[in-house]
Homo-oligomer: A and B are copies of this chain.
Amino acid sequence: MLGKCITNVRNNVPLVHNITNYVTVNDVANVLLACGGSPIMSDEPDDVEDITTICGGLNINIGTLNKNSIEGMFLAGKKANELGHVVLLDPVGAGASALRTNTAVKLMDEVKFDVIRGNISEIKTLALGSGTTKGVDADVADAVTEDSLDSAVTFVKELAAKTGSIIAITGAIDLVADAERCFVIRNGRPEMGKITGTGCQLSGMMTGFLVANPDNKLEAAAAAVCTMGLAGEIGWSRMQEGDGNSTYRNRIIDAIFNMDEETLDNGAKFEIK
């Protein structure tokens, strides 16, 4: 069911415009290439409207925002909306600073997002107007666990209804929901948290998945999450003695490069609530 989504990416070769942080941007580009898409990066206000016009989707990540790139985010987002392109928001560090929280909230006001993808602390910040984000990693107290799962599913569906966006919360258990259905996904490994930017990589890839699967956006978003998590499992299985997080980063991207429909369908671990 979800496997078909990656085949569509490989056949469609979606061109994705990324306004993203300079920390993880190289990995975002290589992950987009690994899954079958094509990346382009541009954040200059005078450049972004032309670039987003030739793309199929726009990935806005506020990780190392500055005054100039923030202006670019709004211009690109509005242009992408005008053209009916897929637009995704990754609110990195929302809750960690006023500028990040306010930029993310204002983007949600002025741009229509197909998906908002973040960790639980970031998403709670956007939902509640406050949060307990500790840096750019999720706060433990907020974690989605088996115990808090039902209330988290309710929360994410309600936020999806309120915003009109698919909401994707990633962590030990991942939730991908619209107002009616929530994919609860149990792929991935805890060691992925020791690599910078697996969330950013997922946001770039997810944008490509939505572009290539316009009629099944919720499935596409869930398929991207399963692809990332499954790649984390496959990559880990290939680790040798002495390997660490740098090699693991390479192995995960390699596993995405080699991911096919059958592997994804066999390895995806999800239920729909």
Interchain CA distance A56-B129 in the complex, whole Å: 25
Other-chain residue from B68, B196, B243 in contact with A66 (beta carbon distance below 8 A): B68
Contact A42 B64 (CB under 8 A): yes
Count, chain A residues at interface, CB 8 A: 63
Interchain CA distance A54-B136 in the complex, whole Å: 11
* A43 at the B interface (CB under 8 A): yes
Complex interface: chain B residues within 8 A of A137 (CB) = 38
Contact A99 B47 (CB under 8 A): yes
Contact A254 B244 (CB under 8 A): yes
Contact B135 A34 (CB under 8 A): no
A135-B55, A194-B33 are contacts. A255–B242 as well, Cβ < 8 Å?
yes
* A145 at the B interface (CB under 8 A): no
A196-B30, A242-B254 are contacts. A93–B44 as well, Cβ < 8 Å?
no
Contact B256 A34 (CB under 8 A): no
Interchain CA distance A46-B102 in the complex, whole Å: 12
Chain B nearest Cβ from A215, distance in angstroms: 24
* A59 at the B interface (CB under 8 A): no
Contact B244 A50 (CB under 8 A): no
* A149 at the B interface (CB under 8 A): no
Interchain CA distance A251-B240 in the complex, whole Å: 12
Contact A26 B254 (CB under 8 A): no
Complex interface: chain B residues within 8 A of A50 (CB) = 96-99
Residues 17-50 (chain A) with a chain B CB within 8 angstroms: 21-27, 29-30, 33-34, 38-44, 46-47, 50
What are 17 A-B interface contacts by the 8 Å CB criterion? A22-B25, A23-B25, A23-B26, A23-B41, A29-B197, A34-B194, A34-B246, A38-B135, A39-B196, A40-B136, A41-B63, A43-B64, A44-B64, A67-B68, A68-B68, A246-B249, A246-B252
Contact A196 B244 (CB under 8 A): no
Closest 3 CB pairs of A and B: A244-B257, A244-B254, A50-B97
Complex interface: chain B residues within 8 A of A65 (CB) = 44, 47
* A15 at the B interface (CB under 8 A): yes
